[in-house]
Amino acid sequence: MRVGVSSSCFYPACTEEAVQRLQEAGLGEIELFLNTFSELEPGYTAALQRQLAGQGTRVLSFHPFTSGMEPFFFATDYERRAADGRELYKRLFDCAARYGARIFTFHGDYKTTPYPFERYCENFAGLSALAREYGLLLCQENVVRCKCGSVDSVRRMRELLGQEAHFTLDLKQALRSGADIYEMLEAMGEGLAHIHISDHAPGRDCLAPGCGNFDFRAFFRRLRRISYEGDVVIELYRNNFRDAEELAGSAAFLTKLSAERAAEE
């Protein structure tokens, strides 16, 4: 299990600047979070690829800036709009693949929309098949404002899609939605493919790992019991940590726990 840090931690710094801060802190594995359409242009992609390659930085996962548009494109019966959405996501999938990412995180439909959940899941499955053509796993994340922020919806998605359903577990989002982290973990089951990790404490739901009171050893033991083989990425908001060095310390803390887990095996 590899431990990475998301470039989104430094938002609103430009993506290449955020990546540079992670590189300067010695963080060689990252989630790449792009922030606007111009960052999909070939010239930008080539420049960022050179920056990543120059430091041997590996992209574990890719997060698009279009998450808020996903209900518009993929929770609709207006086929022309859905087709436009698929074309946009082909472009995003191609970009993610060029950076070497395996995981593509997806927020999906808002819980407030009336679009039937079963049809949304059908649309997700079609997009997931398209992502596989680019060597990617499309992973539904448990985001508080979205339908799959609930344990019941995640379970229902697995029932409907079976092996087509893959998930990113976000610890802070589980807390914000009032879901038990371990119930969400159980609901995702064998579909769990990626983890956004953070710490928490009373009144604080998003801290750098090792700075709160979450029992990461117990969490990693649970991951071992379910034979989790994916990666974990630290994803925080900018006001939830001091600097890149704190993120590097958290990554080292989690890497040490991961090594202890491997030794136990």
Confidence of residue 222 (pLDDT cuts 50, 70, 90): very high
How far is 10 from 29, CA to CA, in rounded Å? 15
What does DSSP assign to residue 147? Answer: G
E strand or H helix that includes residue 80: helix 79-98
User: What confidence score (pLDDT) does residue 172 get?
Assistant: 96
Percent of the chain having pLDDT more than 70?
98
Average pLDDT of the segment spanning 180-197: 97
* Residue 27 near residue 2 (C-beta atoms within 8 A): no
Give the residue carrying structure tokens 């922030």. 35
* Residue 248 near residue 27 (C-beta atoms within 8 A): yes
What does DSSP assign to residue 77? Answer: S
Confidence of residue 232 (pLDDT cuts 50, 70, 90): very high
How far is 220 from 224, CA to CA, in rounded Å? 6
Phi, psi of 93 (to 5 degrees): -60, -45
For residue range 69-101, what is the model confidence (pLDDT) as tens digits?
999 999 999 999 999 999 999 999 999 999 999
- pTM equals 0.95
User: What confidence score (pLDDT) does residue 125 get?
Assistant: 97
For residue range 23-54, what is the model confidence (pLDDT) as tens digits?
999 999 999 999 999 999 999 999 999 999 99
Average pLDDT of the segment spanning 155-170: 97
In this structure, the strands spanning 204-207 and 199-201 are: antiparallel
Instruction: Please check the confidence at residue 189 and state whether its pLDDT lies above 70.
Output: yes
Instruction: Please check the confidence at residue 204 and state whether its pLDDT lies above 80.
Output: yes
12 prior amide bond cis, ω within 30: yes
Give the residue carrying structure tokens 């690829």. 49
User: What confidence score (pLDDT) does residue 203 get?
Assistant: 83
Instruction: Please check the confidence at residue 265 and state whether its pLDDT lies above 60.
Output: no
Instruction: Please check the confidence at residue 260 and state whether its pLDDT lies above 90.
Output: no
User: What confidence score (pLDDT) does residue 262 get?
Assistant: 55
Instruction: Please check the confidence at residue 261 and state whether its pLDDT lies above 60.
Output: no
User: What confidence score (pLDDT) does residue 263 get?
Assistant: 54
Instruction: Please check the confidence at residue 208 and state whether its pLDDT lies above 70.
Output: yes
User: What confidence score (pLDDT) does residue 264 get?
Assistant: 57
How far is 229 from 245, CA to CA, in rounded Å? 27
Instruction: Please check the confidence at residue 174 and state whether its pLDDT lies above 90.
Output: yes
CATH tag, 3-264: 3.20.20.150
Other C-beta atoms lying within 10 Å of the C-beta of residue 228: 20
* Residue 234 near residue 211 (C-beta atoms within 8 A): no
What does DSSP assign to residue 39? Answer: G
